[in-house]
Structure 1
Amino acid sequence: MLMTTARRLSGDSLAWNSLLIMATTVGTGGLGYLYWMLAARTVPPDQVGPATALISAATAVSMVANLGAGHMFIQRLPGTDTGSWSRIVGAGLFAGSVATVATAAVTAMVVPALSGNFAFLSGAGATTALIATAVAVTLTTLLDNLYVAHRAGPGMLLRNLAVSGGKIVALAGVLAAGFHGAVAVLLSWTVPALVISLVTIVAALGRLRPGVRARLTGLRAELPHLRAALTGHHLINLTQAGPAALLPVLVTARLGADANAHFYLAWMTASMLFMVSPAVASALYAERTNAAQVTVTRAAVVVAAVVGGPAIALLAGGDLVLGLFSTAYATEGGTLLRFLVLAAIPDAVANLAVAHWRSRGEFRLCRRLNLIRAVTCLVLAWLLLPTHGVTGAGLAWLAGQTAAALLVVAGLDRKAATTGAMANERVPTAYPVGSRSGSKPAASPRPGETR
């Protein structure tokens, strides 16, 4: 039975690569859970809070600064020659890293002046930590997308397991070396991610695509493509990933670093659910850029099969899970966790819709949908956090995802009604979503082209 299932999965590229991407999420999530459990039990809560807040800020910085190069990899790399491949990858990694360093430096100077709760970012040591952590997140994100572009799930899984396992080993080593507090958390979290990323760039890219390596020659020729990625893919990514990256920052700004520790651990626990649909969406987009005919329905079935059981388990026993950290984490984050779990369903609807539209070059629809859910989530979070505590962030997240899913469903209903009316009128051609009535179907975008 297992062998038959494995053969069927290996013959279904979407399911196989989605499974491997999700295995990466589950594996790293499980090891991350163990890492934070050890950190919560060995580092005082008043030190875990600033560390998680700095990691959250670094994640937000990376999200802003990676320039959309990851999805540019997925769009452009399939079918390219070795010279172009090396130039595209080198330019994307270099530009994303430089932009991350600059954005992190500016953030360390400006944000503490705007909010006293971010005073821990002041000083040369904190600035260095923010820059290093943000670059680690950027490199991890871009390299993951590089593996997705080649539908090389096993390599991505092994690389991420090495990073997550390295963090646990590093935490034990750092504590044994006499480092304690936030420094121990930041060193053990950041250094393994940087080291494994650099090893991947130097030693593993040749295995991913034989005969190539990332290089910095020809950067000028890549500038138009980077600008296109910035205005196309990056704006979609910002509005899609922005709330997830900014919610911990808002929690810190409104409630302080200690409250962020309770929020962050509940968020990390739920992330194993609401990171499934982005994984399947990325696999769906990669399949279509590799000229595979894959339907959204198939992708939705994969998401439902993976999310259903764990979601029910977390709804029933989420308090017990958070209680493994401490009773305080369960008390403060139990209701928050349930709201985050419920949000996984509308989040999946919106993410699969965005992947579908992105594969058809309908970037404006992607940006509009993501902007609505981002604004809804962040505005409500800002308003609800002072009165509802960290639970307000969960309510805001659920509201934003639900609003986006309802818009997707409403759009599908309008499309079905329009198609039915056209059939009744015996109009022979049905135009894709987002096209103007009476216009020709939109052509597929050329590499680097956005709409």
Structure 2
Amino acid sequence: MLRTVTRDSLARNSVLIMASTVGTAGLGYLYWLLAARQLNQPSIGTATALISVSTVVSMVSNLGLGHMFIQRLPGAGVREWSRIVSAGLLTGCVATAAVSFAAAAVLPSVAVNFAFLRSSSGVVALVVTSVALTATTLLDNVFVAHRASHGMFTRNLALAGGKLATLAALTWAGYGGTAVVLLAWTLPSVAVTGYTLATMLGRLRPGARLTGSGLAPELRHVRGSLSGHHLINLAQAGPTALLPVLVTARLGAEANAHFYVAWMTASVLFMVSPAVASALYAERTNAAAAGLGRASVVVLAVTGLPALVLFLAGERILGLFSAGYAAEGAMLLQILVLAALPDAITNLAVAHWRSLGEFRRCLRLNLLMATVCLTLTWLWLPGSGIEAAGIAWLVGQTTGALVVAVRSLPNLAVVRSLSNRRKAPAG
């Protein structure tokens, strides 16, 4: 097994991306566990609401540049590589800052539960957290583009460990409240991003350096990414980012704290198939042979046991936070576990179609799932509580998986027909 992982580029990079996401999730779990034990629920609820908004802002404003990196960086010369990365990072971070200010101006008037964004400190926290998220996401994709996921693994472990250590230090010193959660979340992101820009990029692509000149021609590629990859990404990641925001808007910050902890726990499963999908797409842009069968085996091998553990022992796991989190989030966690299989099917299908250039098909599928999930969440939350968001997520992903199955039937029929012809006796 170890020999297969080291020799097979798809398996190796999939495992490294998953190790990065799972390791980050594990340290993130300890982060929120420490926060739940040291801080009151209203403080955590406000912090998770702001982080949720930052996630949406970053998702909306990164312009699909990460997938543009995966598509264009392999084989690029040093000067072109420097220009692509510089233009992408600058454009993504500036766009994120602008959308952050817009969100801070609009959200408090739309939903009273976002009133904390009326303060200058809330606006600053939103801008800094959102820009840090965008920079982290784009830099991760630079490493994925070069099938150097070990760099992503190192960065993200340092980032997650830094968050946990900073939170522990601040709470040990006697500080509390929402600001502590946000500072511990954001400061390590800024530090790790700065270190990556200063040292790691030069090692990844010797001779490359960030530049501010010659960026204008890159705007054409940014526009192409916006109309292609970005729309697909928005429709795909939109529900995952928007669900905590909708829970806050409809049920309040405290309910979002219960939802966020269960959602974060289940995210161990939801991180696997996107990681394998990214590795699959990177393999194909590097002109390497990579099939859906191999990718599916990797996903099933990694998610099987964790899914069983979370489904059977989820209440006890949530109880590590407090009895309240277990009581409110246990059923939600089980619902989310059930959604992991259809989620994996749709993620791998989108990666496959994206590699074939079938962007419209990817977009239509993601829009369908997003519309079903978000509409049902908004309608069901007031009457059914936080479990409504989980059920809506399950329905949306299942709908998408059924569409993938229907679209795959003609291809399966062709394959079966060809197989039968080969087996038929001649003459």
TM range (shorter): over 0.9
What residue in structure 2 maps to residue 374 of structure 1? 370
What residue in structure 2 maps to residue 286 of structure 1? 282
Per-residue displacement from partner, 1:333-390 (whole Å, max 9, x unpaired)? 0010011111110000000000001001110000000000000100010011111100
Alignment partner for residue 15 of structure 1, among 7, 11, 14?
Answer: 11
> How far apart, CA to CA, are the structure 2 residues paired with 1:235 and 1:243?
13
> How far apart, CA to CA, are the structure 1 residues paired with 2:54 and 2:20?
21
* RMSD (Å), alpha carbons: 1.5
Matched residue type, 2:312: A
Matched, 1:237 2:246: no
What residue in structure 2 maps to residue 50 of structure 1? 46
Matches within 5 A, 1:208-287: 208-287=204-283
Alignment partner for residue 295 of structure 1, among 291, 294, 308?
Answer: 291
Shift of 1:190: 0.7
Shift of 1:200: 0.4
Alpha-carbon contact 1:174-1:187 (below 8 Å) kept: no
Matched residue type, 1:188: A
What residue in structure 2 maps to residue 428 of structure 1? none
What residue in structure 2 maps to residue 144 of structure 1? 140
Shift of 1:71: 0.4
How high is the TM-score relative to the length of structure 1? 0.91
Matched, 1:117 2:100: no
What residue in structure 1 maps to residue 125 of structure 2? 129
What residue in structure 2 maps to residue 337 of structure 1? 333
Q: How many pairs align? A: 421
What residue in structure 2 maps to residue 403 of structure 1? 399
What residue in structure 1 maps to residue 34 of structure 2? 38
Change (3 A) 1:362 1:173: same
> How far apart, CA to CA, are the structure 2 residues paired with 1:14 and 1:417?
28
Shift of 1:420: 7.1
Alignment partner for residue 95 of structure 2, among 88, 96, 99?
Answer: 99
Secondary structure of the structure 1 residue equivalent to 2:190: helix
Alpha-carbon contact 2:4-2:11 (below 8 Å) kept: no
What residue in structure 1 maps to residue 425 of structure 2? none
Alpha-carbon contact 1:90-1:215 (below 8 Å) kept: yes
What residue in structure 1 maps to residue 424 of structure 2? none
Shift of 1:410: 0.4
Change (3 A) 1:221 1:388: same
Matched residue type, 1:39: A
Per-residue displacement from partner, 1:92-132 (whole Å, max 9, x unpaired)? 00000000000000000101001111111111100000001
> How far apart, CA to CA, are the structure 1 residues paired with 2:256 and 2:419?
54
What residue in structure 2 maps to residue 327 of structure 1? 323
> How far apart, CA to CA, are the structure 2 residues paired with 1:394 and 1:244?
11
Give me the identity figure in percent: 60
Per-residue displacement from partner, 1:206-248 (whole Å, max 9, x unpaired)? 0111111222221101000000000000000000000000000
Per-residue displacement from partner, 1:236-269 (whole Å, max 9, x unpaired)? 0000000000000000000000000000000000
Secondary structure of the structure 2 residue equivalent to 1:143: helix
Change (3 A) 1:419 1:154: closer
**4+ residue stretches of structure 1 with deviation over 6 A?**
418-425
Alpha-carbon contact 1:111-1:118 (below 8 Å) kept: yes
Shift of 1:89: 0.2
Shift of 1:424: 11
Alpha-carbon contact 1:115-1:253 (below 8 Å) kept: yes
How high is the TM-score relative to the length of structure 2? 0.96
Matched residue type, 2:89: L
> How far apart, CA to CA, are the structure 1 residues paired with 2:344 and 2:412?
21
Secondary structure of the structure 2 residue equivalent to 1:220: coil
What residue in structure 2 maps to residue 181 of structure 1? 177
Matched residue type, 2:304: G
